Structure 1
């Protein structure tokens, strides 16, 4: 998988459009965030094209495959759809996005701004995905999955590749939010065992946590503050296999802790991120994850597709 990640990075470098951004890595003393560790590295992936890390996987999927005249199609809580729509516009192809009703109005509006045809259906992501798959069988459009395709996982892995390059060394640990698992699978595939990769999930959307309890991926009920981006009801098959080998911890966080961390990032650092991007800081602030005093901890601020009014 590391070779797939390197191939994705090469596609981005040679594509000529400069679509995928090399987002900043902000190094701060742990004490700045009230954390007893040496440094915290904030990977500002909310500044990525489309407002989230999803641009990496979606663009890699499109670049690696022939796109038919019917274009591309995706089901998404919002971020994967936005990334696919942005990638499709960059390549000049059609895009159809199926979103559940839980998807925020801000994300739906952004999809339409990008020229996507938006279909709102189903209460949760899984129901939108079912409708998307039925439509894809009719149109033959190229399907981009939000988290469970090799190209999507490899694209996400370029983020971890960048963290190492920008940091000058692997961090001791990387704290990663989990929905369907594409991001953590890419990060873990790149890091392997050089950095400790920790999975973070909302208590109300525990796809990986429950899979580990059951010994295999299972369907879970999802709701809560981050459901529009971490709302997959089952961990993906590819993420399950990779995380079983390379992710030793899966931790749960309350909606209250996630919300507090989100507001702290805005009030203290003027970083406007969606709830899904605040789980790393929430884990540190609550003590769910306790780093060593000399540890370098990397947090992935994975997205910023939110209504700014919610930060008031």
Structure 2
């Protein structure tokens, strides 16, 4: 869910400022918006377009591809893409909680193998869905053929006649690109000209073609979507409107459930699970939320976290779902150090999915992101990019805003999103809280 501001759009707010958006949000102040639309899980889930059976089918597809993934990527000995669940030490957990009760765990998707970010869950999965369909059509996957066969020259010739395209400023594009190039697809990543130069270099190094666009992330996605519409030799990964991406993210809930059980963590009404999820366009946190709700029901409470300058999901949910609304419409400029969360307009697909499911949306300042990034590096050895620190900055404000009684036996899971592949120079800039590198190469 990457994006950068469109200066032309950010000059002035929309003349008709949407109702329902809190004044503090419009002023760019840190805010906790407790979701007034939250409903019991049993009432909300049956109306969703994605069911438990759909998520289980996605999980089964991941398992079918494990032999292929193990063959293609040395770091995937088992073929499974997952991250560790780490407990924070008591002193660090106390700082995160600010005196509230409970334990704090980190779902360390910043350490995900292959891509080093949460986008592997959705981006890699959607490429696998497309590859499976092409392979079946070409007769490469009969009843006796294993999926590892798709690494062989015959399959690569089939895939090489097709292009996988995506709009991104980095992490999603890299996740899609790594998987697609490993299978032999041509890859196009459509990006804003303001995207970071090191992310463009990284994409070109894996053989992806980088196509630059004026404007923000949304402009790049829209241009790519139009360019690839109707092409039989190509597949466009639509970060704003893809159920396959959503399902790839949703399967992560099964990994977390298994890890919590292995750690002896109980999740029920008396032992609630709070999960803090950085949010850009919404696909990753939305998918994870739906998966967790399907597994834990009302015992899990999900909180989205966004930068104060780019709270696109909060703005959309607060304004209502009758029409799309952007952060520019409420006078915000979409400029933040958390470039992975700098999105002006939320996915309406995801907004409709999560409207009654999430507990709250919290907005956090760039100063808070940098402060937590430094603290977590020095105190816990977590090497994060600014976007991935967002969840930690939201815990105390959310618990303060939560109506009493404050749950003392809660488990808090902060989901990180990226950082393992951040170049050392960029990580040092983030530690200093200094400006990101110039966009131009």
Pair 1:239–1:298, CA change in 2 (3 A) = same
Aligned counterpart in structure 2 of residue 57 of structure 1, from 116, 119, 122 = 122
Aligned equivalent of 1:219: 326
Question: Any conservation in 2 of the 1:77–1:231 contact (CA below 8 Å)?
Answer: no
Which of 205, 208, 218 is 2:313 aligned to? 208
1:257–1:282: 8 Å Cα contact kept in structure 2? yes
Match of 2:367 in 1: 256
Query: Partner of 1:12 in structure 2?
Result: 62
TM alignment of 1:262-281, pairs within 5 A? 262-281=373-392
Secondary structure in structure 1 of the residue aligned to 2:327? coil
Q: Does the Cα contact within 8 Å between 1:184 and 1:243 map onto a contact in 2?
A: no
- Map Cα deviations across residues 60-104 of structure 1 (whole Å, 9 max, x no partner): 212223357231000012111000001102222111001113322
Flag structure 2 segments of 5+ consecutive residues without an equivalent: 1-49, 70-78, 135-158, 329-333, 401-405, 433-441
**Matches of 1:143 and 1:233, distance apart in 2:** 21
Aligned match for 2:210, one of 99, 118, 124: 118
SS at 1:242 equivalent:
helix
Q: Structure 1's 234 and 245: CA in aligned 2 closer, same or farther, altered over 3 A? A: same
User: Partner of 1:287: helix, strand, or coil?
Assistant: helix
Q: What is the CA distance between 1:139 and its match in structure 2?
A: 5.1
Given the alignment, which residue of 81, 86, 95 partners 1:26? 86
Instruction: After TM superposition, give the deviation of residue 30 of structure 1 in Å.
Output: 5.1
- The Cα shift of 1:147 comes to 4.6
Q: Is the 8 A contact 1:178 1:184 kept in 2?
A: yes
CA–CA separation in structure 2 for the residues paired with 1:194 and 1:103 = 39
Distance in 2 (CA, whole Å) between partners of 1:194 and 1:94 is 44
Q: Does 1:176 align with 2:277?
A: yes
Q: Would the aligned equivalents of 2:83 and 2:107 in 1 still touch at CA under 8 Å?
A: yes
In the superposition, the TM-score normalised over structure 2's length comes to: 0.66
Q: Distance in 1 between matches of 2:244 and 2:116?
A: 20
Listed as ranges, the matches of 1:184-199 within 5 Å are 184-192=285-293, 193-199=298-304
Question: How far, CA to CA, are the matches of 1:17 and 1:198 in structure 2?
Answer: 35
Q: CA deviation at 1:283?
A: 1.1
Q: Which residue of 1 aligns with 2:143?
A: none
RCO greater where, 1 or 2, for CA within 8 Å and sep 6 or more? 2
- For 1:147 and 1:111, the matched residues in 2 are separated by 21
Give the distance between the partners of 1:148 and 1:165, measured in 2 at CA. Answer: 29
Report if aligned partners of 1:57, 1:153 keep a CA contact under 8 Å in 2.
yes
Cα separation, 2, equivalents of 1:224 and 1:132:
24
Gaps of 5+ in 1: none
Contact 2:385/2:427, CA 8 A, preserved across alignment = no
Query: 1:298: which partner in 2?
Result: 413
Contact 1:258 1:282 (8 Å CA) reproduced: yes
Q: How many aligned residue pairs are there?
A: 310
Match of 2:109 in 1: 45
User: Are 2:397 and 1:282 equivalent residues in the alignment?
Assistant: no
Instruction: Give the 3 Å change call, closer, same or farther, for CA 296–167 of structure 1 in structure 2.
Output: same
Distance 1:93 1:212 in 2: 37
Partner SS for 1:146? coil
Max Rg structure = 2
Name which of 348, 355, 359 aligns with 1:237.
348
The alpha-carbon deviation at position 138 of structure 1 amounts to 7.7
CA displacement at 1:188 relative to structure 2: 1.4
In the alignment, what sits opposite 1:308? 427
Query: Aligned pair in 2 of structure 1 residues 31, 213: CA closer, same or farther (>3 Å)?
Result: same
1:79 aligns with 2:184: no
